[in-house]
Amino acid sequence: MTVKTKTSAVKSLSQLFALILIAILVGIGALLFFAFQKLPTYAASVNQKLEQANLISATDKSRSESTTLSPRAQKFFSTPTAYATQAETDIRAYGKLTNIPIQSVNAEANNTVSVRITGSVPYESFLQLLTSLESNVPKMTIESLEIDQKQSPTSKNVAVNSLKIKVAVR
């Protein structure tokens, strides 16, 4: 082989490599072009799947919370068969806490309980009893109330003539 043929072979080989390099660069460019064309669609798909996963997670969390909160919510209501004994127990306990003598607790129609209090009682203690009853679980609401200040107008005691309490029943 002569020098001329060697340089010609090297020249044609370098042209071949340049052509291959250009073809590779054009191929990479084409791949990047198509990849960038698909990128927004792929990103939207990923975001949608992420939102669905978050929704499933939130639903699962909500479901697990509802199974723990449901028994708590059920406590706000009494059952029709047990409301009278439950209300009597709670009313007597609050009477004992506030030093108010409860004479009797009688169940009446429409989930109502009538309470009879012995003698006159300190007004502030009576207010504490009413507050305790209103914040009770199961829920109780004062339906009617009659009080008198039988002693002197400056007395801090009241006589409770009538107290009716409505019990929340499911």
Helices (H), the chain: 3-74, 83-97, 123-134
91 and 165 Cβ atoms separated by less than 8 Å: yes
End-to-end CA distance of the chain: 107
113 and 164 Cβ atoms separated by less than 8 Å: yes
Q: What is the dihedral of CA 104, 107, 112, 118, to 10 degrees?
A: -10
**Nearest-CA neighbor of 105 among 137, 129, 122?**
129
The number of CA neighbours under 13 Å toward the Cβ of 135 is 6
Model-level pTM?
A: 0.54
Q: What is the CATH number of domain 83-167?
A: 3.30.1360.100
**What is the per-residue pLDDT for 2?**
65
The domain spans of the chain are: 1-74, 83-167
What pLDDT tens digit does each residue of the chain (170 aa) get? 566 676 777 778 888 888 999 999 999 999 999 888 888 888 888 888 888 888 888 887 777 776 666 666 666 566 667 778 888 888 999 999 999 999 999 888 888 889 999 888 998 999 999 998 888 767 888 889 988 887 667 778 888 888 998 888 77
